[in-house]
Structure 1
Amino acid sequence: MQNLPLTPSDFEFIDDTLMKHGDDHSVLNPSELDGYFTALVSSPAQVDIAQWFPAIWGGQNPDWESPEEGKQFIDLCVRHINTLATQLALDPTAFKARLEQTEHQGQVLTLAEEWCFGYLRGVAVAQWPALPAAEAAQFEAISFCAEQDNFELPDDLDVALHKQRVAAIEAAAVALHDYWAAQRSA
């Protein structure tokens, strides 16, 4: 049960819970949570739930309506983080960042800002040390997209460049996971 991938209804529960209990300092949606967890499972050292769970909420746990609500949310988080850890460690080709989509000037565009922002939140919680140049370039591919304002895409957006940058994110996440995994086993 702890390794089963989440279903669409599981992600809907997560989304509803984040909206209900979150604020401006919290993880906002499942995409940001996915990026956050990806960074945590890719970290140079394991991060304890007592550290990463309150960080979802900006540092303070929510006031749950019931113990069952809190338990269900935590269980789903643990299942998702376990799924990501398994994918990245054993089958990185199965890893797919949970990115959002929008329409821009008549075409569907994939947005990465929220996912990347979550990834940066995970890096901060895990307190990653400085990276060597090659890995720092991979990290830059993610951090650059976290700085983009996808809420209002500019009319003159370079769509080809945007797609290229978004396409680089999953490979960068896998490369960073692999780098830290090699460091942990060395």
Structure 2
Amino acid sequence: MLPALSEKELDRLEDLLITYGNDYSVLNLAELNGFFTALASSPVTVTPEQWLPVVAGGKVPKFKKPAHEEAYTALMLRYANQVAEHLGDDIDRFEPLFEESEGEEGTVIVMEEWCFGYMRGTQVAGWEPLPAEQDQWLKAISLHGLEDNFELLDQMSEEDIQACVPQVIEAARGLFRYFNKLN
């Protein structure tokens, strides 16, 4: 069992994502958390050789220093493992790593990045169409994680969007349970 990443290591990982990111890559920890949640929940095993280029936006970046490449890969692998362990240890307490922002009404949960990461994970794993109940769970996540839904989201109030937070959390837990045959 690998140790969980410290705050310092998580900051380093996020710095590496930004430094070596591009328009198609994962750029923050919330999106990476969603991505790894989908992979850990997936009925299909996706190897690091398959997902590392996806995180980087298509191909593994050209690193300025060998130490950056080692840190990037090691931190990615440990974080993927950490997310999978977190899901497997206690799915009922699993909480996605959502971002927060300050709105007029106080702190607002921002699900978009996490949901985009999750949907990217389902795509790299090539998820097959799901039964009706599980498809509804995936739709709860994809509402906030696909560009096709931006128009729909624009029509929703902030209150309506915040009301989706528990649905997205339950969807992530439900899909993990479903694919891992947990009841």
TM-score norm. by structure 1 comes to 0.88
> Is 1:9–2:17 an aligned residue pair?
no
Unaligned runs of 5+ in 1: none
Indicate if the aligned counterparts of 1:31 and 1:99 stay in contact, CA closer than 8 A: yes
Q: How far apart, CA to CA, are the structure 1 residues paired with 2:43 and 2:156?
A: 36
Give the match for residue 85 of structure 2.
86
Which 4+ residue blocks in structure 1 deviate beyond 2 angstroms? 156-160
Shift of residue 104, structure 1, vs aligned partner: 1.7
Give the match for residue 21 of structure 1.
20
Give the match for residue 30 of structure 1.
29
Indicate if the aligned counterparts of 1:145 and 1:166 stay in contact, CA closer than 8 A: no
Q: How far apart, CA to CA, are the structure 1 residues paired with 2:74 and 2:7?
A: 15
Report SS of the residue matched to 2:33.
helix
How many matched pairs?
178
Shift of residue 157, structure 1, vs aligned partner: 5.7
Give per-residue Cα distances to partners, 1:80-132, cap 9 Å, x unaligned: 11122122222113422111011222411010000000001000000000100
> Is 1:118–2:117 an aligned residue pair?
yes
Aligned-pair Cα RMSD in Å: 2.0
> Is 1:182–2:178 an aligned residue pair?
no
Q: How far apart, CA to CA, are the structure 1 residues paired with 2:83 and 2:137?
A: 19
Report SS of the residue matched to 1:182.
coil
Report SS of the residue matched to 2:102.
strand
TM-score norm. by structure 2 comes to 0.89
Identity of aligned pairs, percent? 34
Give the match for residue 55 of structure 2.
56
Q: How far apart, CA to CA, are the structure 1 residues paired with 2:65 and 2:31?
A: 25
Shift of residue 45, structure 1, vs aligned partner: 1.5
Unaligned runs of 5+ in 2: none
Segment of structure 1 superposing worse, 52-61 or 102-111: 102-111
Shift of residue 160, structure 1, vs aligned partner: 2.8
